[in-house]
Structure 1
Amino acid sequence: MTGDILWSLRSHCPIPPRLSPHADRVQRWLDDLLPRLGLPLDGPALDRLSRAGFARYASRLYPQATEADLRVVAALFTWFFLVDDACDGPHRLTPQQIRALRDGTLWLLREGHRIRHPGLTGPLRRLLLRAWREPRRRMPARWRLRFADAVGHHLHGTWQEAVEKAAGRPPDVARYVELRRATSAAYVSYPLIEFVTGRPLPDAVYHHPLLREIADLGNDLLSWYNDLASLERDRATSGGHNLVLALAAERGVPVVAAVGLAAERWRATMRRFVELRATVPSFGPALDKAVTDHLDGVADAVRGTIEWTLESARYPTPAARD
């Protein structure tokens, strides 16, 4: 149903695709690391993780990263996808378990590893500890707080979505968009731009209203593209938590018509995204390079999600047509 739409939206994306030259090496490193963490995954499950290409996803979002930093980001991405599977898979965690996971994760990010929290244990804790070591060592306290806040926002949204699914409450479109901005983890990916570039932004610039609006639009673009790619799965499992399904319910139209509505909403948002990026003012010679890196990173997150979605075994899509 959505294959042609996905390829059409890709052709209408003006952001050029980028890919790190370290992508394949980091993917091989990640494939070697995961079995040694003690994850409860058999051979086929590990193979599915490899074919999903989480390191290649990171390589598309952070093409300028060194190989060492790309390993850090790829490990973090893998952690978030494993958590996503645990919270939204066939044997999903309960809302209470998700809340405990959130609390344990924030404890580790904010307080360190010396005192264990029961909400985060085992292989997931080991993977996050390993991935967080270098950002914690290298980045300033205000950045670490910003990153932890973004993770907390993401996991709180994941918990809220689980509560609403358990209660059988499908969201309307406005509620869905608000919640999807949290569950997508895009806001977690944005601070990592500063990690790989080594140029952290002051809070006043990072939270500038114009930059925040651009970040919100970038989040919507990558989230809604993902919704189109995962629609068939979500129709069975999401409890209405998909832009297409929310539009279909709110407008009273068939799902196939809602696909078209979602695609048009995506195109209009892309036009607004491009327009706003062109209006960003100078913040002064000491900050303009970091601001440009941030804006490029938000754009790379959009285009990188498109390219990765179409190449990853996680979201099977029809091959491109000539």
Structure 2
Amino acid sequence: MLEEVLWSLRSACPIAPRLSPYADPVQEWVLDRLARLGLPLDGATRRRLERAGFARYAGRLYPDAGEPDLRTLATLFTWFFLVDDACDGPDRLAPEQIRALRAGALTLLREGPRWRHPGFGGPLRRLLVEAWREPRRRMPARWRSRFADAVAHHLDGTWREAVAKEAGRPPSVSEYVELRRATSAAYVSYPLVEFATGRTVPDAVYHHPLLRRIGELGNDLLSWYNDLASLDRDVATSGGHNLVLAVAAERGVPQETAVGLVADRWRDAMARFVVLRASVPSFGPTWDAAVTAHLDGVANAVRGTVDWTLESARYPVPDTP
């Protein structure tokens, strides 16, 4: 049933799929770069990362980026997924270690690579230094601050989830939805649209209530789809941090019923997303092209997550309906 739901939601997604022509060569480049930066890549690890296809994920979200910029974006995506594995895997970091990682990463993003933090070093730090070099050089200070704030929000959510898991406290549905908006890293991906397109948005427009609500819905859509795809794994490891599990516990229904309820919730959110996206007013000739690029980026994040989830070996979903 779960596989059927995933494929039916993909069919119901009105956003057109896109993929950069550079995605596959960039994937090979990233794997070679990881080895040069000192990440331990034995044959099995390299195959796992290759089959996960993080560069293809970046290529779906930023299909118009040139090959050099897609290399930067794919490196950033790889960093976030490696951090996710470190914080949420079977040998996951303790909450205090996640706090130290957060502090170190933010020191690097805000102060530059010369500043160091004792809780953040080794290959993960070198990878972030590499990934951050070009955005730091090219993007304005207000954008760099906005991106660092998004990373802080994401890693704080990762820490809060780790604390809840350690305490054995599963979340309610409302608690989970709010926390998931942080742990998904969608809010980190949105500013990167400006880097990929070269069209920056002023803070007043970026934080406009309507654009914020569209971004929130986009975050929910990609997060809930991912929760459906990772349900079998999350049953054993998530401590209740999965929307299906939270709905099942709160409503007192079987998981199979909760899957259907989450799928209905996803369809309702998608309908609202489409209506709100179509209702965005003009912000004037100076900013309309950048706003359109931003909204397209949010939509690509939703559809790109759906398509990448179904093709990536990171999730055990059959590759045919």
Structure 1: runs of 5+ lacking an equivalent: none
8 A contact 1:105–1:119 mirrored in 2? no
Q: 1:312: which partner in 2?
A: 312
Which moves more between the two structures, 18-27 or 264-273? Answer: 18-27
- Determine what percentage of the aligned residue pairs are the same residue: 76
Per the normalisation by structure 2, the TM-score is: 0.99
For residues 199-253 of structure 1, the C-alpha deviation after alignment (integer angstroms, 9 at most, x for no partner) is 1100000000000000000000000000000000000000000000000000000
Helix, strand or coil at the partner of 1:151:
helix
For residues 18-64 of structure 1, the C-alpha deviation after alignment (integer angstroms, 9 at most, x for no partner) is 00111111111112111222113422012101110000000000001
Cα RMSD between the aligned structures?
0.7
CA distance in 1, matches of 2:119, 2:211: 34
Q: 2:77: which partner in 1?
A: 77
CA distance in 1, matches of 2:118, 2:185: 23
Q: 2:9: which partner in 1?
A: 9
Helix, strand or coil at the partner of 2:282:
coil
Which moves more between the two structures, 175-184 or 44-53? Answer: 44-53
Would you say 1:48 and 2:48 are equivalent positions? yes
Q: 2:227: which partner in 1?
A: 227
Structure 2: runs of 5+ lacking an equivalent: none
Helix, strand or coil at the partner of 2:293:
helix
Would you say 1:127 and 2:130 are equivalent positions? no
1:197-276 superposed matches below 5 A = 197-276=197-276
8 A contact 2:165–2:239 mirrored in 1? yes
Q: 1:185: which partner in 2?
A: 185
Structure 1 counterpart of 2:298, which letter?
V
Structure 2 counterpart of 1:225, which letter?
Y
Structure 2 counterpart of 1:151, which letter?
V
CA distance in 2, matches of 1:37, 1:85: 18
8 A contact 2:154–2:182 mirrored in 1? yes
For residues 127-157 of structure 1, the C-alpha deviation after alignment (integer angstroms, 9 at most, x for no partner) is 0000000000000000000000000000000
1:290-309 superposed matches below 5 A = 290-309=290-309
8 A contact 2:173–2:250 mirrored in 1? yes
Q: C-alpha displacement at 1:115, in angstroms?
A: 2.3
Q: 2:58: which partner in 1?
A: 58
8 A contact 1:170–1:239 mirrored in 2? yes
Q: C-alpha displacement at 1:106, in angstroms?
A: 0.3
Divergent runs of 4+, >2 A: none
CA distance in 2, matches of 1:140, 1:231: 40
Q: 1:38: which partner in 2?
A: 38
Q: C-alpha displacement at 1:297, in angstroms?
A: 0.3
Structure 2 counterpart of 1:19, which letter?
L
CA distance in 2, matches of 1:319, 1:158: 30
